């Protein structure tokens, strides 16, 4: 039976712990390109809107956005990922440098494009998106460099985030290496999963699939509370995890714990403008809170509020400690 979340969180104390917490993020690095404009007419060439471009900007995406979210919340962060030997790869280096985020784990692979997702935005609404990427597995040389970085920096991290977007970095050998390290010291490993790679995640501390990903992993549609319970418990057993957090958009989140507790966390978004990067915020806030000493239910609440904040912003967004404090204080008063 679903339980409702209860209790309060000392967010001020938790945010102070964030500053002393280090996370290692391993995953597919991207750049989010936004082209902003207005629409006043339909093209005479085809039934599509004509966007008059007003400005453009580039933002950290994928695993780099996870890193940006951890950094924005006050946590310390290390990044192990891959970019191409191209202009967008250089842009990512520059954006990380602006945030004073260490780039020591950034591997450059010649001949491989940096993943770029370009979104056309008009009147605060996404008109279209197009992607430039490779989904081929990374080279053996790149993998060896990443494994060396992970091995060297493992003991510096209080927790690890696997940010898998299916772009070729998260492969069996790399995940086997990480899970072997985890078995050695029991370190927190949280996974933002990709459907095609579910076989790689067995033994992770917590997974954060969305509804579609959870249904795909369990080969079962979530139609009601009964089927939701079946899917969540099946994933717990399949991945031998301590917890599974299924995110369900406007229906909030549901946390399945190894102790048998199933806790519903209702959505806290007041207005939804853009869901771009919301999953990055969930895994960032959740793992940072867990690594800082929160329980799974407490961390789920923190992640839920953080996600509720970013979907109220347009574009790839992050959350600050002050925004999080304000949201949780308002919750306590309501």
- Whole-angstrom distance, CA of residue 8 vs CA of residue 86: 48
Catalytic residue among 28, 32, 192, 280: 280
Annotated active-site residue 164? The verdict is: no
Residue 12: exposure state from Cβ atoms within 10 A (0-12, 13-18, ≥19): exposed
Is the Cβ–Cβ distance between 24 and 78 less than 8 Å? yes
Q: Where are the beta strands (DSSP E) in the chain?
A: 3-4, 22-27, 29-42, 49-62, 76-84, 106-109, 115-122, 125-132, 159-163, 188-192, 206-207, 243-247, 253-257, 262-265
- Bridge partner list, 57: 34
Is the Cβ–Cβ distance between 164 and 192 less than 8 Å? yes
- Whole-angstrom distance, CA of residue 67 vs CA of residue 133: 20
The DSSP code for 192 is E
Which residues carry out catalysis? Answer: 280
């Amino acid at each position: 039976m679903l339980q409702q979340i209860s209790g309060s969180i000392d967010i001020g104390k938790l945010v102070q712990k964030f500053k002393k917490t280090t996370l290692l993020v391993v995953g597919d690095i991207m750049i989010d390109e936004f082209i902003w404009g207005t629409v006043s007419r339909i093209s005479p060439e085809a039934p599509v809107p004509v966007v008059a471009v007003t400005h453009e900007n580039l933002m950290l995406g994928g695993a780099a956005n996870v890193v940006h979210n951890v950094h924005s919340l006050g946590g310390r962060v290390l990044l192990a990922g891959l970019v191409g030997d191209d202009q967008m790869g250089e842009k990512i280096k520059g954006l990380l440098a602006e945030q004073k985020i260490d780039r020591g784990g950034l591997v450059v692979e010649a001949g491989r494009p940096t993943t770029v997702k370009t979104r056309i935005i008009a009147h605060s609404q996404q008109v279209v998106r197009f992607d430039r990427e490779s989904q081929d597995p990374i080279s053996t040389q790149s993998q060896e460099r990443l494994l060396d970085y992970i091995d060297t920096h493992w003991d510096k991290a209080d927790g690890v985030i696997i940010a898998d977007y299916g772009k070729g970095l998260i492969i069996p050998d790399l995940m086997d290496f990480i899970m072997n390290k985890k078995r050695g010291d029991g370190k927190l490993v949280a996974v933002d999963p990709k459907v095609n790679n579910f076989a790689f995640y067995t033994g992770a501390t917590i997974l954060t699939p969305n509804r579609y990903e959870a249904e795909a992993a369990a080969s079962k549609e979530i139609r009601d509370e009964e089927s939701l319970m079946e899917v969540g418990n099946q994933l717990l057993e399949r991945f031998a995890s301590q917890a599974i957090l299924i995110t369900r958009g406007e229906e909030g989140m549901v946390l399945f714990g190894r102790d048998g507790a199933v806790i519903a966390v209702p959505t806290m978004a007041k207005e939804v403008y853009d869901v771009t990067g919301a999953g990055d915020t969930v895994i960032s806030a959740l793992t940072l809170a867990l690594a800082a000493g929160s329980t799974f239910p407490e961390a789920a609440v923190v992640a839920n509020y953080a996600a509720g904040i970013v979907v109220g912003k347009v574009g790839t967004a992050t959350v600050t400690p002050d925004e999080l404090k304000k949201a949780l204080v308002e919750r306590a008063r309501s």
